[in-house]
Amino acid sequence: MVPFPRTGRRHAAWLRPVGLMPLATLALLAGCAQEGDFGRPKAGAWNSLIETTGTLAAREREEPVSTFPFTDEERTLRDRAWRFLMPAAGHDAFTDVLANLTRTRVLPASWRIDDPAAYHDTLMAERFRSPVSRYRRLSEDIATDARLIPQFAALALRVKEGDALRLRSLPFAKSLDDRDVRQAAMRVAENRCLIAWVRFETGRRSHRYRYALEHLLIEAPGPEAVSVERTLAALDGRRPMLDPLVPPEAEARCGLLPEAEIAVAAARPIVVKD
C-alpha cells in the first residue's frame, strides 16, 4: 500500500515556492495563463511552463511529484478538478492569480485562509438591478457544483482503479528499478491528494454558499431563498459521493489543512475499534 505523504512542514516558506522566482514574477506568469473553454487552462507551451514551475515548487516542498506521463483519465481528472479548486465567483485579479498559482501547485494548498464571506462579498459587489438576480446566480453556482460532483467521483474511481492495477503490477515487473517504483508511488499519491483536495474544497464551497444564502435572506428577503435552499441540500447530498474515494485523514496527510489542524489530525488514531 502506498501511504499518503505527510506534507505541510515547509509551508511557512510559501513566499519562496521554488527558490528561483520571486512571487511577483510567478504572479505575472500565472496572470498570463491562457484560458480554454469555460475558463479552464488551455493546452499550450505557456500553461505547460506554469505547470512545470508548479511541479518544481511541489518537489521543493517535498510533496509527491511523479515524472510519469499522465494517462488520459488522470489528465481529465485534473481538468475537472479545476472547477472546485478555483474561486466559485470571480474575485479581484490578484486573488484569482493566487488561486491559479495554488491550483498549479506553485503555492501550497494550505496557505489560503478560509474566508466564508468571500463568495457573498463578491456576489454582492457585482452590479445588479434586482436581488432576484443574486438568488439566481447563487442557485446556478450551487447547481453546477452539484451536477459535476457525480462526474468527478466516477472519473476519480476509474483513476483509483488504474492506480490499484499499477500497484498490483509492480511485483511482477522484473525490469523496474527503485526509481520506477518510487515514481509509481508518487503518482498514486498525487492522484489521491488531488481527490482529497477536491473533497476538501467542496466542503468549503458548501459553507460559503450557506453563508451567502443566510446573509442574502436577511439583506433582501425573498421567496427565491426556498429554491436556493433546496439546491444547496442537493449539493450536500452529493458531497458524500467523494468520501469513499480517499480515507478521512487524507486532507491532513496531503497538507491541505493549516499547521494547527494537521497536528490535531495527526494525533488521532487512523484505526479505531468500533
Q: What is the pLDDT of residues 154-185, one digit of tens each?
A: 999 999 999 999 999 999 988 998 989 988 88
d(CA 54, CA 225): 41
Concatenate the DSSP letters of all residues of 45-114 into one string. Answer: HHHHHHHHHHHHHHHHTT-----SPPPHHHHHHHHHHHHHHS-SS---HHHHHHHHHHHTTSS-GGGSPP
Q: Using an 8 Å Cβ cutoff, are 128 and 43 in contact?
A: no
Name the nearest CA neighbour of 185 among 196, 193, 175, 197: 193
d(CA 4, CA 60): 17
CA dihedral 239, 241, 246, 248 (to 10 degrees): 50
Q: 230: which residues sit within 8 A by CB, 6+ positions away?
A: none
Name the nearest CA neighbour of 4 among 198, 249, 179, 170: 249
pLDDT at 147: 96
Q: What is the pLDDT of residues 27-75, one digit of tens each?
A: 444 444 444 444 444 444 434 444 555 555 566 666 666 788 899 999 9
Has residue 18 got a pLDDT over 60?
no
Q: What is the pLDDT of residues 200-253, one digit of tens each?
A: 999 999 999 999 999 999 999 999 999 999 999 999 999 999 999 999 999 988
Q: Using an 8 Å Cβ cutoff, are 146 and 241 in contact?
A: no
d(CA 52, CA 39): 20
The residue length of the chain stands at 274
Concatenate the DSSP letters of all residues of 10-25 into one string. Answer: TGGGTTSSSSSS-HHH
More confident residue, 7 or 15: 7
Cell of 219: 439583506
**Which stretch of 19-23, 109-113, 196-200, 222-226 has the lowest confidence by average pLDDT?**
19-23
pLDDT > 70: percent of the chain:
61
d(CA 11, CA 7): 8
Q: What is the pTM of this model?
A: 0.73
* Mean pLDDT of the 90-94 span: 51
